[in-house]
Amino acid sequence: MGSKYKCALCGEEITKYFNPMKEWKIEGVLCGDCYSKKISEFYPGDHTRIN
């Protein structure tokens, strides 16, 4: 019932959570920081700007 989630990686309580991609093999949800970290781990160099 609570609106609080815990980041599966850093354990921080988060109110805005992100669903990890299936290939990351992570159970639960991620905070924004860990999510973007994972993104750059899995998709290095894929940070060109998008129009």
Q: How far is the CB of 46 from Zn ion (least distance, A)?
A: 20
- 13: amino acid identity, one letter: E
DSSP-assigned letters across all residues of 2-48 = -S-EEBTTT--EESS-BPPPGGG---SBB-HHHHHHHHHHHSTT---
Q: Is residue 29 part of the contact set for Zn ion (CB under 5 A)? A: no
- Choice from 2, 34, 47, 49 touching Zn ion (CB under 5 A): 34
- Residue closer to Zn ion (CB basis): 10 or 43: 10
Does residue 10 touch Zn ion according to CB under 5 A?
yes
Q: Which is nearer to Zn ion, 25 or 49 (CB)?
A: 25
- Say if CB 27 and CB 6 are below 8 A apart: no
